[in-house]
Amino acid sequence: MSRISSRFGEIIEKGKKAFIPYIMAGDPDISRTKKVIGILEDCGADIIELGVPFSDPLADGPVIQKAGQRALEQGVRLRSVIELVAEVRKTTSIPIILMTYYNPVFKYGEEKFVHDATTAGVDGLIAPDMLPEEAGSLVRFAKKSGLDTIFLLAPTSTEDRIRKVSKAASGFVYYVSITGITGAKLSMDHAIASHISKIREISGKPVAVGFGISTPEEASKVSMLADGVIVGSAIVKRVTDSDEELRKYLLALRKAIG
Amino acid sequence: MLKKDKDFKEELLLLRKTYVGRPTPLYFAKRLTDRLGGAKIYLKREDLAHTGAHKINNALGQALLAKRMGKKRLIAETGAGQHGVATATGAALTGLDCEIYMGTEDIARQSLNVFRMKLLGAKVNAVDAGSRTLKDAINEALRDWTTNVQTTHYVMGTVFGPHPFPAMVRDFQAVIGREAKRQILKSEGRLPDYLIACVGGGSNSIGLFNDFLRENVKMIGVEAGGRGIETGEHAARFAGGSIGVFQGCKSYLLQDDDGNILGTHSVSAGLDYASVGPEHSFLMESGRVVYTYASDDEALAAFELLAETEGIIPALESAHALAETLKLAPGLSKDNIIIVNLSGRGDKDVQHVARIKGIEL
């Protein structure tokens, strides 16, 4: 069983919910990212999503776009993020997911990427522009090496779509809470709850919800419905705050998620 | 399916005739032909279509489609502004709201078109990210679409992006080649030897080529060579790029070793784009179409030559196709026939060209 699946297993068994923070690797620089990974773990993160900077981040709002731009200016690329994971792996066993766009993986070479990433200690991959229909070879390589492939579903996803994604997905399913981009305003309507249970039922996998969650109150509401809560832009905004401020915010999220 | 819906087809056909002004003429450029002293040169006059470029063929089709789908709002990206103007026109015609995304770099060099879009009732959103050109405008339009998909139709302007856009835009543009075929058969009694068109995303070229793909006709697509391939300041994806996956499709792409998208340069905003329609990549790899490029300077020279010899000011994009014609025609015999797609008119570029020449207007 993958590190992500077993973590979810433990959490669900205890009746708890997963806290999944996202940060952009290399923003503002690699050494801060290393330090923040430690802080996230200290503050009760269950899984860490590590963003890989990309020139054209289609699914991201202004906060993560700018963070990626800063990281690119630092010279951070997919290969350096993999190296970073190899280094932090020496001191932590927390599951780490890379969130990248597909083209850097394609250019790196799918097989080589899966090999290098899993060797470094990466546990999962999210590429928001990767469709299950087109991901056949990547999913095969990933399965062989034990890398989880996490796909996105949205409020507009049909049942047929949910089935397709469920088949290709491993680890958990990422439910995008809104039609929109990262960092947008959360709006929770009645449909979310029924959509999430339907996804859980069809996929048989844990469902984590992300996009637009920024306050502990929002995180708490989402955690009532989902198996995990993903917080990105709101944390990325605070990465350069003092350690004390950052910890305070993360602990509040952790407490709210339960 | 709408493709086979009789009412939709009739509505589109009538508007093409009475609103767009189709069929556009196929014009024999006698003075240009004499000047070059080789093959006979015909110009497919898409510049005479309503709004001044081929872009209206697709924008009108998609606006009607959006209306049928019950959407309230159209959004689009634009580089040179021609697609933005065409979409704003389609929105005005169908009574839909319209917002256009355009890079700030392009807004600066195509200010006339920005004002036209506003006159047509569209809101123009400046995109100040990345290279501030077409690809960044597409990113922003896709973000808008992701957010407002329930009410909004994204009118992709070229044969690019996720399925079904490459095929749908081609189908709406294929009218160019269908007409050209009929027209050349009427005037010359035979098919041409060459088709030449510029390739940005690639919609005007696919539009011209599509109906000739199974005929014995040579085809040349002309990309933007900018300041030269060796300078890195160009938009020649076939000459300087490699295969990648970007904005919803797999095609040739200007990218670095890490898969990040490179900045591009062209004197013409409409060709200034890092990737190219996937069908062009297929036609290139199969060898059916030959792709080459023209530099900024060559395009500018062709721009002036056509104005002087034929009294037609071409769009800078189309001037790239003309630049290749200037190279090819003199070496061919007088029996040969070339059709060049004059995809747009150059009024929008006049200010920009004056600035390049150091002339204060």
Q: Is the pLDDT of residue A56 over 80?
A: yes
Provide the percentage of residues in chain A whose pLDDT is more than 90. 95
ipTM: 0.95
Average pLDDT, chain B: 96
Residues from chain A that touch B143, judged by Cβ atoms under 8 A, are: 58-59, 61, 180-181
Q: A116 an active-site residue?
A: no
Instruction: Give the pLDDT confidence score for residue B80 in this predicted structure.
Output: 86
The closest of B173, B210, B140 to B49, measured between CA atoms, is: B173
Place A201 in a pLDDT band, splitting at 50, 70 and 90. very high
Q: Report d(CA B261, CA B240) in Å as an integer.
A: 13
Region B175-187: mean pLDDT is: 98
Average pLDDT, chain A: 96
Region B133-149: mean pLDDT is: 95
Q: B343 an active-site residue?
A: yes
Q: Report d(CA A169, CA B171) in Å as an integer.
A: 35
Instruction: Give the pLDDT confidence score for residue B344 in this predicted structure.
Output: 97
Q: Are A214 and A233 in contact (CB under 8 A)?
A: yes
Residues from chain B that touch A67, judged by Cβ atoms under 8 A, are: none
Q: Is the pLDDT of residue A1 over 80?
A: yes
Kindly state the tokens that stand for B9: 């087809």
Q: Is the pLDDT of residue B1 over 70?
A: no
Query: For residue range B238-251, what is the model confidence (pLDDT) as tens digits?
Result: 999 999 999 999 99
Region B191-200: mean pLDDT is: 98
Q: Is the pLDDT of residue B99 over 80?
A: yes
Instruction: Give the pLDDT confidence score for residue B288 in this predicted structure.
Output: 98
Instruction: Point out the catalytic residue in the list B40, B46, B67, B77.
Output: B77
Q: Does B75 touch chain A (CB under 8 A)?
A: no
Query: For residue range A101-159, what is the model confidence (pLDDT) as tens digits?
Result: 999 999 999 999 999 999 999 999 999 999 999 999 999 999 999 999 999 999 999 99
DSSP, collapsed to helix, strand or coil, labels residue A51 as: strand
Query: Is the model more confident about A192 or about A108?
Result: A108
Query: For residue range A57-76, what is the model confidence (pLDDT) as tens digits?
Result: 999 999 999 999 999 999 99
The domains found in chain A, sorted by start residue, are 3-257 (3.20.20.70)
For the entire predicted model, the pTM comes to 0.95
**What string of DSSP letters covers B131-192?**
TSSHHHHHHHHHHHHHHHTTTEEE---SS-SSTTHHHHHHHHHTHHHHHHHHHHHHHHSS--
